[in-house]
Structure 1
C-alpha cells in the first residue's frame, strides 16, 4: 500500500465521520440556540433545561437517521475490506 492510498483511506474516514456527526451536531446547536434565547428572554438559568431537550432531539435523530448512518458505515467498511483483500 502506498502512502497516497493510506492518505486516501484516512481522508475517506474523515469524510465519513463528518457525514455521520454533522446532522447531529447541527441539530444540537440549533436546539441549544433556541433554548438559550428562551432562557435569556425568561431569565430562567436552569442547566437541565438545555440538557434534556438536546438529549431527546439527539435520540430522535438517531432513531430517524440510524439506518442511513449504518448504511454509510457499512459501505465504508466494505470498501476497506475490499482494499485489504487486494493487498
Structure 2
C-alpha cells in the first residue's frame, strides 16, 4: 500500500464526514439565523426560543435524511472492505 493510496482513503473518509455533518448542521444553522434575526427585530432575549427550533429541525433532518446517510456510510465501509485484498497485496 502506497502513501498515495492511504491519502486517498483518508480523503474519501474526511469528505464523507464533512458531507454528513453538513447535512445535519446546515439546516440548524439556517434556522438559528432566522430565529436570531427575529429575536433581534423584536428584542426578545429568550434562550429557549433559539434552542427549541434548532433541536426540532435537527431531529427532523436526522429522521428524513438518516436512511440516505446510513447508505452512504455503508457504501463507504463496503468499498473499503472490498478493497482490502488489493490494498494488502
TM range (shorter): over 0.9
Alignment of 1:64-83 (within 5 A): 64-83=64-83
Counterpart of 2:2? 2
Structure 1 unmatched runs, 5+:
none
Could you tell me how far 1:28 is from its partner in structure 2? 1.1
Alignment of 1:31-50 (within 5 A): 31-50=31-50
Could you tell me how far 1:26 is from its partner in structure 2? 1.6
Alignment of 1:54-65 (within 5 A): 54-65=54-65
Per-residue CA shift, 1:46-80, capped at 9, x if unaligned?
11111111010000000000110001000000011
Distance 2:19 2:68 in 1: 10
Could you tell me how far 1:18 is from its partner in structure 2? 1.5
RMSD: 1.0
The size of the alignment, in residue pairs, is 87
Distance 2:21 2:85 in 1: 29
Alignment of 1:14-29 (within 5 A): 14-29=14-29
Structure 2 unmatched runs, 5+:
none
After superposing on structure 2, the runs of 4+ consecutive aligned residues of structure 1 that deviate more than 6 Å are none
